[in-house]
C-alpha cells in the first residue's frame, strides 16, 4: 500500500485556519486522497477526498499539489469540535484495495480556546 | 438517512468463547468493511464484502470471519477468543468500493477476560 506521512501533532487557536499537511510521494495514478478524522470514543468520520483537483465541501478544503505527491487539508476556521486525530489515506480503486483504508498514525490536532 | 449501525455497542466475553458482531450499512450501500482498532496497532483492515462476496482480506488469522447478507447487512465472527482480541471493532459502508467515501459506525467495544 502506498504510504502517507503526516506530522504527529499540530496546534491551533479557535477561529483560526488550520493547514494539515500530508506527503504521499509513492502515490499511483489511480489512488484517491482521502481525509478522515476521529474524535475521542467515536468511529472515524469522512472529511473530504479528491483525485487531482482541489476540492471544497462544507467541512474543509483539500489542496492537492500538481504532482500529487502531497496534499493539505484546510480547516478554514477551527473550532473546539475540530480537535481530533486526522488521517490522510490513499485509497485505491481495485484488486487488493477493495474497501480498504490503510490508516497511519495520523495528526493529533489540538485547538486552543 | 440513517447512518451505519453496529450492535451491540459493548460486549464482554471470556477467553475461548466466540462472538458475532453485526453491522447495518447505510441504505443503498453495497460495500461493507470491518476494522479493528487497538491502542498499540491503531486501525487495521479486517475484510471487505461487496454484494455478499468477500473481495479483500487483511492480515488476520482465520478465527476472524465474516459474511454479508442479500440486504447488505454484515456480520463478523471471532472464534476462540484471545485476550488480544479486545478492541474496538468498526464497520464502514460505501456506495461502491475504491475511491468513494466510507462511513463508519460507532463501533463495538469487545473486552475479552
B32 close to A (CB below 8 A): yes
For every residue of A28-94, DSSP letters joined together read -TTPEEEEEEE-TTS--EEEEEESSS-EE-SS-EEEE-TTSSEEEEEESS--GGG-EEEEEEEE-SS
Which of A45, A46, A99 is nearest residue B97 as measured by Cβ atoms?
A99
Nearest to B22 by CA among B36, B35, B3, B5: B5
Provide the pLDDT for residue A72. Answer: 98
- Nearest residue of chain B to residue A100 (CA atoms): B45
pLDDT at B94 over 80: yes
Q: Do B43 and A42 touch (CB under 8 A)?
A: no
Q: Provide the pairing of β-strand B53-57 with B42-50.
A: antiparallel
Segment B31-52 shows an average pLDDT of: 93
CA-based nearest distance A82→chain B, Å = 18
CA-based nearest distance B101→chain A, Å = 7
Provide the pLDDT for residue A40. Answer: 87
Cβ partners under 8 Å of residue A48, min gap 6 = A34, A35, A55, A57, A59, A60, A61, A62, A73
Give the residue from A98, A102, A108 with the most B CB atoms within 10 Å of its CB, the best one to mutate: A98
Contact predicate A102/A90, CB 8 Å: yes
Contact predicate A101/A91, CB 8 Å: yes
CA-based nearest distance A34→chain B, Å = 8
Per-residue pLDDT of chain A (113 residues; tens, 9 = 90+): 668 999 999 999 999 999 999 999 989 888 899 999 999 889 999 999 999 999 999 999 999 999 999 999 999 999 999 999 999 998 887 777 777 888 888 999 999 99
Cβ partners under 8 Å of residue B93, min gap 6 = B4, B23, B25, B26, B29, B31, B32, B33, B72, B102, B103
Chain segment A39-64, per-residue pLDDT in tens = 988 999 999 999 999 999 999 999 99
Q: Do B98 and A46 touch (CB under 8 A)?
A: no
As a whole number of angstroms, the longest Cα–Cα distance in chain B is 39
| Separation CA A47–CA A60 (nearest Å) | 7
Could you tell me how many CB contacts below 8 A there are between chain A and chain B?
75
Give the residue from B68, B101, B109 with the most A CB atoms within 10 Å of its CB, the best one to mutate: B101
Amino acid at each position: 500500500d502506498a504510504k502517507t506521512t503526516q506530522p504527529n501533532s499540530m496546534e491551533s487557536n479557535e477561529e483560526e485556519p488550520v493547514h494539515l499537511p500530508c506527503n504521499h510521494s509513492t502515490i499511483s495514478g489511480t489512488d484517491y486522497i482521502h481525509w478522515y478524522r476521529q474524535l475521542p470514543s467515536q468511529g472515524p468520520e469522512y472529511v473530504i477526498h479528491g483525485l487531482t483537483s482541489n476540492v471544497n465541501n462544507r467541512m474543509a478544503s483539500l489542496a492537492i499539489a500538481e504532482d500529487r505527491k502531497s496534499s493539505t487539508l484546510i480547516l478554514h476556521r477551527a473550532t473546539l469540535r475540530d480537535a481530533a486525530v486526522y488521517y490522510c489515506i490513499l485509497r485505491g480503486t481495485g484488486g487488493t484495495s477493495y474497501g480498504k483504508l490503510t490508516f497511519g498514525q495520523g495528526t493529533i490536532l489540538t485547538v486552543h480556546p | 438517512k440513517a447512518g451505519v449501525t453496529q450492535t451491540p455497542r459493548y460486549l464482554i466475553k471470556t477467553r475461548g468463547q466466540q462472538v458475532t458482531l453485526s453491522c447495518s450499512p447505510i441504505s443503498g450501500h453495497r460495500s461493507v468493511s470491518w476494522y479493528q482498532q487497538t491502542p498499540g496497532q491503531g486501525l487495521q483492515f479486517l475484510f471487505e464484502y461487496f454484494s455478499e462476496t468477500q473481495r479483500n482480506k487483511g492480515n488476520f488469522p482465520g478465527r476472524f470471519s465474516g459474511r454479508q447478507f442479500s440486504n447488505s447487512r454484515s456480520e463478523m465472527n471471532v472464534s476462540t477468543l484471545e485476550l488480544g482480541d479486545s478492541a474496538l471493532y468498526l464497520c464502514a459502508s460505501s456506495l461502491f468500493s475504491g475511491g468513494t467515501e466510507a462511513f463508519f459506525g460507532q463501533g463495538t467495544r469487545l473486552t475479552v477476560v
